[in-house]
């Protein structure tokens, strides 16, 4: 048990330092605590050994950086699309091709990351890793919602009554 806790602490410190390097908390990137918690949860959920954690977390940093750059490019396209008015067929084709290109780049990044992870993770760990971030965000959102809504949360029974009334 002590060994496992030590592994988690070391992995979170390592990943926290990697992900937090050069970032401001109020920027477009999540706060370093987000990544530290994500590393903690990933270590637990995937049941990573210390050797696996030492291999996985360093390859995550360049992957996240590249994904962030793709996201910024997509947001630049989005801003341009919503701030300009008259578009031609040529503009439409340009935006469509750029969106497709960015999505394909993102898929390529994912494929490369999963291929690297397959070299040192077990198949069940790889499958969980593929879906980890989506599940992590969903669970974190639910945890934060539960924490901050507290007593202001609407009672589930009231929602059910409203739905039943709406269907009548």
DSSP 62: H
User: In 3-state terms, what secondary structure has residue 154?
Assistant: coil
Q: Is residue 36 part of a domain?
A: yes
Taking the whole predicted model, whether its pTM rises above 0.75 is answered as no
Burial of 22 (0-12, 13-18, 19+ CB in 10 A): exposed
DSSP 28: S
Q: CA-based angle 141:144:147, to the nearest 5? A: 150
pLDDT tens for residues 91-144? 999 999 999 999 999 999 999 999 999 999 999 999 999 999 999 999 988 988
13 CB-side CA count, 13 A: 6
Q: Is residue 23 part of a domain?
A: yes
Q: Is residue 164 part of a domain?
A: no
**Structural domain range at position 78:** 2-152
Helical axes 50-83 vs 2-20, angle rounded to 10°: 30
pLDDT tens for residues 2-13? 555 444 444 454
* Pairwise CA distance, residues 132 & 111, whole Å: 15
Q: Is residue 163 part of a domain?
A: no
Residue 117 is predicted with a pLDDT of: 96
* Pairwise CA distance, residues 131 & 57, whole Å: 16
Q: Is residue 74 part of a domain?
A: yes
pLDDT tens for residues 49-106? 999 999 999 999 999 999 999 999 999 999 999 988 889 999 999 999 999 999 999 9
Q: Is residue 166 part of a domain?
A: no
Q: Is residue 157 part of a domain?
A: no
Structural domain count, the chain: 1
């Amino acid at each position: 048990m002590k060994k496992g806790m030590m592994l988690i602490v070391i992995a979170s410190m390592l990943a926290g330092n990697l992900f937090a390097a050069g970032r401001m908390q109020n920027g477009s990137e999540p706060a370093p605590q987000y990544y530290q918690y994500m590393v903690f949860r990933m270590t637990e959920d995937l049941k990573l050994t210390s050797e696996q954690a030492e291999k996985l977390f360093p390859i995550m940093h360049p992957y996240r950086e590249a994904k962030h750059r793709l996201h910024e490019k997509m947001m630049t396209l989005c801003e341009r699309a919503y701030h300009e008015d008259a578009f031609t067929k040529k503009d439409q084709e340009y935006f469509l091709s750029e969106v497709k290109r960015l999505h394909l780049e993102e898929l390529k990044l994912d494929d490369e990351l999963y291929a690297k992870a397959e070299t040192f993770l077990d198949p069940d760990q790889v499958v969980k890793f593929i879906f980890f971030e989506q599940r992590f965000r969903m669970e974190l959102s639910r945890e934060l919602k539960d924490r901050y809504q507290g007593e202001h949360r609407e009672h589930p029974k009231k929602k059910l009554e409203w739905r039943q009334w709406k269907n009548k």
